[in-house]
């Protein structure tokens, strides 16, 4: 069983995630590349929230293809180009994750693969 925790004596996270997630021996690991907010037809919607929804849908599809689900997520690593998008990203992330919430890192970067992209998210899951 995946165990997620925030140890006593450290500041809790700024949202729905844990400071640490333990993956027990014998679990297989699924590592997702950085995913961007672009649909199958190549359309990139305006706004961080809309791009996040596309990315989280893509994560769901990758998990499903591997026979896993949201409860198997152990880490999210997210990159935003605009600090003003932080609240929108956190709302979308917090609505997406299930218990136990994964570990999560949020970074602000100067640019992503193309100027229209506002967010990129990597994920890691551990399943049976």
How many residues does this entry show for the chain?
A: 128
Distances 56 to 24, 40, 106, 123 between C-alpha atoms, Å: 25, 14, 15, 10
Q: Residue 12's pLDDT is what?
A: 76
pTM of the model: 0.90
pLDDT of residue 2: 76
- What's the topology of domain 3-127? 60s Ribosomal Protein L30; Chain: A; (3.30.1330)
Give 1-40 pLDDT, tens digit per residue. Answer: 778 777 788 887 777 777 788 788 888 999 999 999 999 9
106-124 as b/e, with b when 16 or more CB fall inside 10 Å?
Answer: beeeeebeeeebbbbbbbb
pLDDT of residue 86: 97
Which tens digits make up the pLDDT trace of 59-71? 999 999 999 999 9
């Amino acid at each position: 069983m995946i165990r997620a925790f925030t140890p006593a004596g450290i500041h809790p996270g700024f949202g729905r995630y844990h400071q640490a997630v333990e993956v027990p021996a014998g679990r297989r690991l699924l590592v997702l590349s950085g995913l961007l907010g672009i649909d199958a037809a190549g359309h990139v919607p305006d706004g961080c929230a809309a791009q996040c929804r596309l990315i989280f849908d893509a994560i769901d599809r990758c998990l499903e293809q591997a026979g896993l689900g949201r409860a198997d997520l152990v880490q999210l690593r997210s990159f935003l180009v605009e600090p003003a998008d932080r609240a929108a990203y956190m709302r979308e992330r917090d609505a997406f994750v299930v218990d136990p919430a994964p570990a999560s890192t949020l970074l602000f970067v100067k640019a992503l693969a193309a100027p229209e992209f506002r967010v990129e998210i990597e994920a890691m899951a551990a399943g049976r």
